[in-house]
Amino acid sequence: MPDYSMLKQMKGAIFDLDGVIVDTAKYHYLAWRSLASELGFDFTEADNERLKGVSRMRSLDILLEIGGLEFTEAEKLAMADKKNRLYVEYISRLGESELLPGVSSYLNRLRDNGIGIALGSASKNALFILDKLNIAGLFDAVVDGNKVSRAKPDPEVFLIASQELGLQPGECVVFEDAEAGVAAGKAAGMQVIGIGRPEVLGEADIVISGLHEL
């Protein structure tokens, strides 16, 4: 039986976005696949696994590595921008129905219990997505790709989130679905609840299949 005592003691909950709050990974994949197709190669779902929890420019580097292609920095910035426009087009149709099971009720319960709630995500579209899902008002702090310069597994995003909540890192629990995110949470000195498969998220303190379990 998992030890949930950390949840009784936490003062702040910091959530990743993709795969924890909403599954936007499929839209990222479609946008990257479309870009790869334009460049003349296939980008598979297995390839896409390498992009989870990784910044946009690093994701592009991995994509080009897979395609065996090289471009200038200026060309790469234009490609990353194009991918983002495709992605934003997809997510502009998001609605509350796409929230993952249990998210809304769990966030509301945390608020009722006076727990600080933050988002810690590499996404530069995080606020836009939270608005689309109609849950932006439940977050006390949003730390996204516009506020950080170092990608997970660097702990920067979670350390800034705890600061914005006015808490010590040890008072916060991170909710993450990616290996790099779990590593970032642990490096920040926080306890981590992994959302997904135990064989992938073995470094987390507890692994569950989704927030509905809580």
The residues annotated as belonging to the active site are 16, 18
Instruction: Provide the Cα torsion 112, 116, 117, 119; round to 10°.
Output: 180
Angle at the Cα of 166 from the Cα atoms of 177 and 129, rounded to 5 degrees? 40
**Calpha distance 79→39 (Å, rounded):** 10
**Calpha distance 35→48 (Å, rounded):** 13
